[in-house]
């Protein structure tokens, strides 16, 4: 009897090992079950409209789920979560708090945390997801074991600003320094006028017309270049007619120049990054770029007389 039992166990063990070996050799494919369609009947006009309204509400939902990176092969799981939620009493404060907790957690995982991680990427202060969540919970519970709320805010703000400054210096520091050096040398050239804002200009043609105010609509021909001579925009790219806009609609360097130029003038204007696009990128213009423009003020819409315009004195003191 004992011998037969041992033989039987050996056979079972052998069969188990054979099954494991077979599983290792053969890839097991798990097929996701299709959602179960419940049997249902429409017994009234109200039922028909309600059912149709529910179907109509799904228009575009699959596309939205795909945008949210939901694998629609798991629609049965989606419907499980959906059905579980709709049967809950939305007015029950406990249920409402629970559902809001899941919603906020999802937003943190998919939006806030990735953005924060990207902000501190390649720095000594890289973000740990698990520790971040612990800090989040502590903040809600007002647990000040490690930080007061105000101190935590100050630390993150300080570290964020430092990370941004380091990243921008690494990416665009050379471009900023090149612009500063260009303007420093350009200020020494004959005919170049330097204003307190840092704006530089050279009069190529002196006009005798009116000087625009901030609220006037001006007509200009222009060409914009990087300091290496690359043309990034020009009015001729948009047609033969001059471009129209108000001085307040453009970068600060343009605003300052336009409200000093008499109609008929053509200036070459040199703009530091601080009154150009600053730390923003704009097409071919990298952050912290100094820019050069040839600007011809063709006219003011409405053709106002020069005597009624701004008589702001042009400053001609060299830097």
Read off the pLDDT of each residue in 23-45 and give the average, rounded to a whole number: 65
Half-sphere exposure of 278 (CA within 13 A, CB side): 6
Q: Domains in the chain and their CATH numbers?
A: 45-88 (no CATH), 182-300 (3.10.50.40)
Name the pLDDT band for 9 (thresholds 50, 70, 90). Answer: very low
- Check residue 6 and give its pLDDT: 39
Find out whether 191 and 204 touch, Cβ atoms under 8 Å.
Answer: no
What is the per-residue pLDDT for 32? 54
What average pLDDT does range 289-297 have in this prediction? 98
Model pLDDT, residue 1? 41
Which comes out higher in pLDDT, residue 6 or 65?
A: 65
3-state secondary structure 38-98: CCCCCCCHHHHHHHHHHHHCCCCHHHHHHHCCCCHHHHHHHHHHHHHHHCCCCCCHHHHHH
**Is residue 156 scored above 90 in pLDDT?**
yes
Mean pLDDT (whole number) for 167-181: 95
Whole-number average pLDDT of the chain:
85
pLDDT for 307: 38
Section 33-57 average pLDDT: 84
The per-residue pLDDT for range 51-72, each reduced to its tens digit, is 899 999 999 999 999 998 899 8
pLDDT at 91: 85
pLDDT value for 3: 41
- pLDDT band, very low/low/confident/very high, at 39 (cuts 50, 70, 90): confident
Q: Which of 317, 300, 298, 318 is nearest to 309 (CA)?
A: 300
Query: For the residues 252-275, what does the mean pLDDT come to?
Result: 97
**Residue 35's pLDDT band (boundaries 50, 70, 90)?**
low
Q: Which of 99, 75, 76 is nearest to 87 (CA)?
A: 99
pLDDT tens-digit profile of 75-118? 999 999 898 888 888 788 998 899 899 999 999 999 999 999 99
Residue 18 reports pLDDT greater than 70: no
pLDDT at 49: 93
Helix (H, G, I), strand (E, B) or coil at 269: strand
In this model, does residue 13 exceed pLDDT 70?
A: no
Work out the percent of the chain whose per-residue pLDDT is above 70.
83
Dihedral sign from CA coordinates of 51, 52, 57, 58:
positive
pLDDT grade for 303, boundaries at 50, 70 and 90: low
pLDDT score of 34 more than 90: no
What pLDDT was estimated at residue 68? 86
Who wins on pLDDT, 309 or 303? 303
Answer whether residue 286 shows pLDDT above 60. yes
């Amino acid at each position: 009897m004992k011998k037969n039992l041992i033989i039987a166990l050996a056979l079972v063990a052998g069969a188990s090992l054979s099954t494991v070996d077979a599983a290792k050799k053969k890839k097991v494919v798990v097929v996701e079950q299709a959602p179960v369609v419940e049997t249902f009947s429409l017994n009234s006009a109200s039922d028909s409209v309600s059912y149709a309204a529910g179907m109509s509400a799904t228009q575009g939902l699959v596309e939205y789920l795909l945008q949210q990176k939901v694998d629609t092969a798991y629609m049965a799981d989606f419907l499980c979560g959906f059905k579980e939620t709709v049967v809950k009493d939305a007015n029950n404060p406990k249920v409402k708090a629970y559902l809001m907790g899941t919603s906020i957690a999802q937003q943190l995982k998919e939006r806030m945390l990735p953005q924060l991680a990207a902000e501190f990427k390649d720095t000594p202060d890289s973000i740990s997801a698990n520790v971040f969540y612990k800090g989040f919970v502590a903040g809600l519970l007002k647990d000040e074991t490690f930080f007061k709320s105000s101190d935590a805010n100050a630390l993150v703000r300080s570290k964020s600003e430092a990370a941004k400054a380091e990243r921008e210096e690494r990416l665009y520091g050379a471009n900023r320094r090149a612009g500063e050096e260009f303007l420093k040398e350009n200020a020494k050239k004959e005919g170049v006028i330097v204003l307190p804002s840092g704006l530089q200009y050279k009069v190529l043609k002196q006009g005798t017309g009116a000087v625009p105010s901030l609220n006037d609509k001006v007509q200009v021909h222009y060409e914009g270049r990087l300091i290496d001579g690359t043309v990034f925009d020009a009015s001729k790219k948009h047609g033969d007619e001059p471009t129209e806009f108000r001085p307040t609609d453009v970068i600060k360097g343009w605003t300052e120049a336009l409200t000093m130029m008499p109609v008929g003038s053509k200036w070459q204007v040199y703009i530091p990054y601080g009154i150009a696009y600053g730390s923003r990128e704009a097409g071919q213009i990298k952050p912290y770029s100094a820019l050069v423009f040839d600007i011809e003020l063709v006219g003011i819409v409405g053709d106002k007389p020069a005597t009624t315009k701004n008589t702001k004195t042009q400053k001609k003191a060299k830097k």
